[in-house]
């Protein structure tokens, strides 16, 4: 094997190490400390809103968002189907039922034309997912929500730095949840954030993310000995200050990382755009795609598993795209959603990260072209 290209890779280095050392020297390593507060202020510029809460991951951010918006057991929440099950799980954590809705066949986000048919008297909100980073149709989704008195949460796990019609992801819904997992555009290994234009929602989420009381830093320097009182069930959903220090550097890197991913996506388009056996992802002109993942659709006559195994054998990292959530047994009886089910069976994620070189993109493209033209991967 003369070349190996990882599916995903973080871009971290000495700046992140220096930031972590500063936290070590400060003595405050635990969650919701000075570094977290500084990160939240800096990330607000990315989100396009004033109110940000750092969290342990995107799933906890989604859970907190629903609790802050008043979700109760027995409620129903409409969810875009093509997503990692953390989205549906978060609804169940809040005691509600996820009701999955099919997705657009081109950009794989929730199909606005199918939302209203899923609304019942128990529906309280909509969670729209931005598959692999490209924002969903928020003008249409918000119009439906307003018509029916529903809230909207944006699952922007993959969408940090994206825009929709000139507006930042973070300012498109009532609340927006982000992920900083190791394969995301910016990362501290794990971690997440919750953003909103509504300060009262983030204030409530902040209380709930520290067991139901104000974080300890709010009591620093008090003249007496304040004893918090627990009057609401909360959770430990805090980001550590070590992670926040890393994230502060990653936020500064974000513009360059987005450019590097766009160059890789442009390279794939130039070198694979004419290949009949695969369909490349669609990037719409009215929104910017941060390319958290680059997901291709293999032709029906190809054996998706055989293509993936051949790529891996050639040193090219790959995986399936994400999940058709309605097919997962945890969620019980759900409506048949043919678009999501079809793309779930035909998607392959190929290498996408900011460290890809032109030689990497060329090798992946040449390897993929050779494999899909081989009769051995046909059904």
Q: Give the active site residues.
A: 184
- 10-15: Cβ within 8 A, 24+ apart: 10/182, 10/187, 10/189, 10/353, 11/253, 11/257, 11/260, 11/353, 11/354, 11/355, 12/187, 12/246, 12/250, 15/249
**Whole-number Å distance between alpha carbons of 249 and 10:** 13
**Whole-number Å distance between alpha carbons of 250 and 181:** 12
Q: Is 376 helix (H, G, I), strand (E, B) or coil?
A: helix
Q: Do 167 and 174 form a contact (C-beta atoms < 8 A)?
A: no
HEC sequence for 247-316:
HHHHHHHHHHHHHHHHHHHHHHHHHHCCCCCEECCCCCCCEECCCCCEEEEECCCECHHHHHHHHHHCCE
Dihedral angle sign, alpha carbons of residues 74, 75, 81, 86: negative
Residues linked to residue 51 through DSSP beta bridges, in sequence order: 196
What's the token pair of residue 329? 């047994």
**Whole-number Å distance between alpha carbons of 175 and 150:** 13
Residues linked to residue 326 through DSSP beta bridges, in sequence order: none
Output the DSSP codes for 126-163.
Answer: EEEE-GGG----HHHHHHHHHHHT-EEEEEETT-TT-E
Strands in the chain per DSSP E: 51-55, 76-80, 97-101, 123-129, 151-156, 163-164, 167-168, 175-179, 192-196, 278-279, 287-288, 294-298, 347-350
Read off φ and ψ for residue 6, nearest 5 degrees: -70, 150
Q: How many CB atoms lie within 10 A of CB 2?
A: 6
């Amino acid at each position: 094997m003369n070349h190996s290209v990882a599916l995903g890779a973080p871009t971290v280095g000495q700046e992140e190490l220096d930031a972590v050392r500063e936290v070590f020297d400060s003595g405050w390593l635990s969650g919701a400390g000075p570094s977290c507060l500084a990160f939240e202020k800096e990330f607000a510029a990315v989100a396009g809103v004033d109110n940000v809460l750092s969290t342990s991951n995107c799933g906890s951010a989604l859970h907190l968002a629903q609790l802050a918006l008043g979700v109760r057991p027995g409620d129903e929440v409409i969810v875009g189907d093509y997503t990692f099950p953390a989205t549906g799980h978060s609804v169940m954590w809040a005691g509600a039922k996820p009701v999955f809705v099919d997705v657009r066949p081109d950009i794989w986000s929730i199909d606005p034309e199918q939302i209203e048919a899923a609304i019942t008297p128990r529906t309280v909100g909509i969670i729209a997912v931005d598959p692999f980073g490209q924002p969903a149709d928020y003008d249409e989704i918000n119009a439906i929500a307003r018509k029916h008195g529903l809230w909207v949460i944006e699952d922007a796990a993959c969408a940090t730095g994206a825009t929709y019609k000139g507006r930042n992801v973070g300012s498109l819904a009532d609340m927006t949840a982000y992920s900083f997992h190791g394969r995301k555009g910016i990362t501290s290994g794990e971690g997440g954030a919750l953003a909103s234009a509504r300060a009262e929602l983030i204030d409530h989420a902040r209380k709930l993310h520290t067991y139901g009381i104000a974080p300890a830093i709010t009591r620093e320097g008090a003249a007496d000995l304040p004893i918090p009182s627990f009057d609401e069930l909360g959770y430990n959903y805090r980001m550590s200050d070590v992670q926040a220090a890393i994230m502060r550097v990653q936020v500064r890197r974000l513009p360059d990382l987005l450019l590097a991913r766009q160059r890789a996506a442009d390279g794939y388009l130039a070198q694979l755009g004419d290949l009949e056996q695969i369909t490349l992802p669609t990037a719409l002109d009215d929104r910017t795609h941060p390319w958290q993942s680059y997901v291709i659709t293999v032709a029906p006559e190809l054996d998706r598993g055989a293509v993936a195994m051949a790529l891996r054998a050639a040193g090219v990292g790959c995986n399936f795209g994400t999940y058709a959530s309605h097919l997962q047994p945890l969620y019980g009886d759900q409506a048949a959603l043919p678009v999501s089910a079809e793309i779930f069976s035909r998607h392959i994620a190929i290498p996408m990260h900011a460290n890809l070189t032109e030689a990497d993109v060329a090798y992946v493209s040449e390897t993929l072209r050779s494999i899909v033209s081989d009769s051995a991967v046909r059904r």
